[in-house]
Structure 1
Amino acid sequence: MTRIIIEDSSVNDIPILSIYQSNLNKYPLIFFLHGYGSDREQAIDFGYMLAKKGFYYVSMDCKEHGKRKTNKEINRFTNVFPPDTGLDTYVHMHEIIEQSAVDIQNLIEYFKNRDEIDSNKIGISGFSMGGYASFYIAANNPDIKVSVPIGGKPAFTKAWKDTITSTGTYEQWSEQIRDAEREIDKRTEYFQMIDPYEKLSSFSPKPLLIINGDQDTDSLYIYSLELYKKLLPLYSEQPENLQINMPFVNHQFNYNMKLKACNWFEKHLGNN
């Protein structure tokens, strides 16, 4: 009898949620990263869907989220922008993304030592902040064989510059944005340092499915579309390994998107 196991545990002080079938020997491993302000339980139904297909699903609480939330945030940058702009939060989110890559590598090393895990079959997915992180980790971690970023942006520097420019067009913030030029430059240098956009070329020809709602105003699809166009020539010999899906939805991870992601992982990372 097949049973789906759901476990709450901790690895190296990283709280994780694992979902898997009880009767399999070698599991392909899928990591999922949640959105800003959420936690490891955000896409528990997605984990269940993947477990039914024979995957070992792991989600974690990212830095300062879920069980890791504290009253003492240690960040690279202090808050300098008008609170209503959300710019400080946006910068802070990328610091969390950077730490998430370190955390995922720690989890990979842990699961590589588990006999029931197929360490040659590791995939990553995530929504919103987790979508950004999926791009970032795919670009930097060779252990990742398949990636499905959802509702994220792959072009950190361009998105930041566009955000600053658009924020500066608002009359109530324009002067403060001009006065913060030096601080903006510091953060721009940071985004340039961690930006995965160019590095994602090295991910080819590994399977990459980009999902981004074409009504999504939180993560405009144009950044994902530009990456897709950039990568197309690199996938010319294996075009089935690169796909972009832009459903007519806003910033969400709905059932059809989850099913699309599950089928992609099953096709490219499953045991069939």
Structure 2
Amino acid sequence: MDRSIGFASRIVGGVPLLLAFPPAGDAPRPMVLWFHGFGVDKEVHRKELEQLARAGFLAVGVDAAGHGARRLPDLDARQAAPHEQALRTMIGLAAQTADEVPSIVRALADEGLADAERVGVVGVSMGGYVVYQALLVEPSIRAAVAILGSPEWPEGDSPHRHLDSFGHTALLSITAERDENVLPAAARELHRRLATEHADAAQRYFELTGAVHLMSEEHWTQAMDETLRWLAHHLQPEP
């Protein structure tokens, strides 16, 4: 691991964070919040946080509500529940996590670590659900990447019903063609609607051919390459 990438744990507003600092450059830097999947925590994405930091971002791994350092005592049982019940739990925790985004952004910007005008979010699986919801609650987000998530929720105030909230953010959605857990159709339809109703919005839909939810290393490398290019294009200034 590149020793010039510094890691630091932090708690902001009760939310446990893992910060990865770029090896050089003055603060404030463009910031990317990274949201993990259901049942795991921010620590499983140290490699991706390092990649983001090496690319010049302040990378911030976030323990989702009910996960990691604030893990619910019955989370394993909730995750093992029948599909509809487990999905309801996951969506509830994703919504809580998205609601915390504004305070995280403000705190790190006020500390001088991050540029509040260059904020990005990335999420995988449950984290992808967080990303779609975060665009409804934090208008400062300039770039977003939802990987294996869905904007269409079976109940509650689903993000896909708020199309106007997606118009201000450069949104990349990455799905897996053969995903058995999160079907690609909802993200694909969101981008079709954006192309029709918000033709000037920066948006891209990318489907990994042949990939499943627990994708291969090759497919994950593709997803990360797309993610890093998208964030660099929309958050970093031209040389």
Higher strand share: 2
Q: Which residue of 2 aligns with 1:271?
A: 237
Structure 1 unpaired stretches of 5+: 74-78, 161-190
SS in 1 for 2:122: strand
Q: Which amino acid aligns with 1:236?
A: A
- C-alpha distance in 2, partners of 1:70/1:125? 23
Structure label with greater radius of gyration? 1
Task: Report the 3-state secondary structure (helix = DSSP H, G, I; strand = E; otherwise coil) of the residue aligned with 2:204.
Answer: strand
Counterparts of 1:205 and 1:235, CA distance in 2:
10
Residue matched to 2:121: 124
SS in 2 for 1:209: strand
**Post-superposition offset of 1:235:** 4.1
1:257 aligns with 2:218: no
In the alignment, does 2:113 pair up with 1:152?
no
2:130 aligned with 1:133, yes or no?
yes
CA contact (8 A) 2:122 2:128 kept: yes
Specify every segment of 5 or more residues in structure 2 that has no aligned partner in the other structure, as ranges.
none
Partner SS for 2:42:
coil
**Residue aligning to 1:218:** 181
1:111 corresponding residue in structure 2: 108
Which piece of structure 1 moves more, 95-104 or 63-72?
63-72
The number of residues matched between the two structures is 228
Matched ranges for 1:196-215 at <5 A: 196-215=159-178
How many percent identity over aligned positions? 23
Q: Tell me by how many angstroms 1:244 deviates.
A: 0.5
Q: Residue type of the partner of 1:221?
A: P
Q: Does the aligned pair in 2 maintain the 1:151–1:252 contact within 8 Å?
A: no
Aligned 8 A contact 1:205 1:234 in 2:
no
Q: Which moved more, 1:104-113 or 1:123-132?
A: 104-113
State the match for 2:191 in structure 1: 228
Determine the structure 2 residue equivalent to 1:29.
31
Counterpart contact for 1:205–1:235, Cα < 8 Å: no
Q: Which amino acid aligns with 2:17?
A: I
Pair 1:70–1:229, CA change in 2 (3 A): closer
Q: Following the alignment from structure 1 to structure 2, what is the Cα–Cα distance between the partners of residues 100 and 263?
A: 26
1:54-113 superposed Cα distances (whole Å, 9 cap, x missing partner): 10010111112111014378xxxxx9xxx7632221111111011102222221121120
The CA RMSD measured in Å over matched residues stands at 2.1
Partner of 1:5: 6
- TM-score, normalised to structure 2, is 0.88
Q: Deviations over 1:158-177 (max 9, x none)?
A: xx2xxxxxxxxxxxxxxxxx
Cα 1:52–1:86 change in 2 (3 A) is same
The Cα of 1:13 is off from its aligned counterpart by 2.2
Q: Distance in 2 between matches of 1:212 and 1:139?
A: 21
CA–CA distance in structure 1, aligned partners of residues 228 and 136 of structure 2 = 21
Deviation of 1:260 after TM superposition, in Å, equals 0.7
**123-132 or 106-115, larger mean C-alpha shift:** 106-115
Once superposed, which parts of structure 1, at least 4 consecutive aligned residues long, lie more than 3 Å away? none
The offset of 1:140, in angstroms, is 2.7
- What does residue 246 of structure 1 align with? 207
Work out whether residues 235 and 242 of structure 1, in 8 Å CA contact, stay in contact via their aligned partners in 2.
Answer: no
User: Is the alpha carbon distance of 1:12 and 1:202 closer, same or farther for their aligned partners in structure 2, counting shifts above 3 Å?
Assistant: closer
Question: 1:183 corresponds to which residue?
Answer: none
Deviations 1:176-232 (A, max 9, x none): xxxxxxxxxxxxxxx23x211021333215311010011111110011111111110
User: Which of 86, 90, 94 in structure 1 is aligned with 2:91?
Assistant: 94
Q: Secondary structure at the match of 2:234?
A: helix
The residue correspondences of 1:143-182 to structure 2 (distance < 5 A) are: 143-156=140-153, 160=154
